[in-house]
Amino acid sequence: MDEKSAFREEKLAVVSDAAEALASAWKADGFKGRKRKQAVARLAETFGRVEALFPGVRGTAERVFEAYLTPCTVRDAEAILADLERTGPFPVEHPLLERLWAAGGPDIEQVPPTDRVIRARLGPVGLILDGPPRRHSGYDNTPLNAVCFASTGGDGDHYSLIPIDGTITAQSPVVLSFPSEEEPVFVGENLKQFLCAGLHWGYFDFFANLEDEQSETAGWWFGEEVDAQQQEFLRSLAEELDLEPIPPATVDPDELWAKFSPLLENRSDAML
């Protein structure tokens, strides 16, 4: 067996152990005392090994282990591994993303045991940065190869970039995922277009930019519910990142879906 095959067998063994531990933990949910503690301890140990193989996998792991729309049912280990391998980490070659990450600081929260941190400086305009951006958000209906870079701060809605040829670049499109919806929505042909189109209403409700009666208007203007503080944040963001507002109508989610949806990789058992 060559080195690559041996490593895959090692990963499969780790995933199989974790799958068995998860099934046992679900069965032990109604138990008390020592048996329950043992099941929980084994679950923590086996998923710790999964995390070691897939650094930064966060909440993705347990969700991928559970059958889609079939609660408390563990999937086949081969299928689990195949999906985990599609969640990254992906290399990032994206100067604007790096500048956005710097603009969102400082770190306000670190999420152990990973290197994941939250940066909320841009929270008032709906961009709570989540990173370093390399991996999946952890939600079931988010494409496996979507690299989360920010959340809106409301109901789990979050923005991700899609790799181009396995790498996050300036050409990567932006998708908005909603935990309550099955499909994500493309909201930018690239990060720059997304940021520039959102300079009118911000990013908490990106569609407010698209639905405004001024959506075809160029130059600086703000939605009627954007207060003075938010306007200042948006102007500051534009200055820091060398952005200029564009008409939000420039972004057509349907056209972007037709162009970029073939890039999306979904769970092998998802009914999308």
How confident is the model over 223-255, as pLDDT tens digits?
999 999 999 999 999 999 999 999 999 999 999
Query: Mean pLDDT in the chain?
Result: 88
Rounded-to-integer distance, Cα 264 and Cα 141, Å: 11
Rounded-to-integer distance, Cα 191 and Cα 96, Å: 8
Rounded-to-integer distance, Cα 161 and Cα 150, Å: 10
Write out pLDDT tens, residues 106-148: 777 665 555 677 889 999 999 999 877 777 766 767 888 999 9
What are the residue boundaries of the structural domains of the chain, listed by start?
3-84, 92-263
Banded pLDDT at 58 (limits 50, 70, 90): low
Residues β-bridged to residue 176: 159, 185
Average pLDDT over residues 258-269: 92
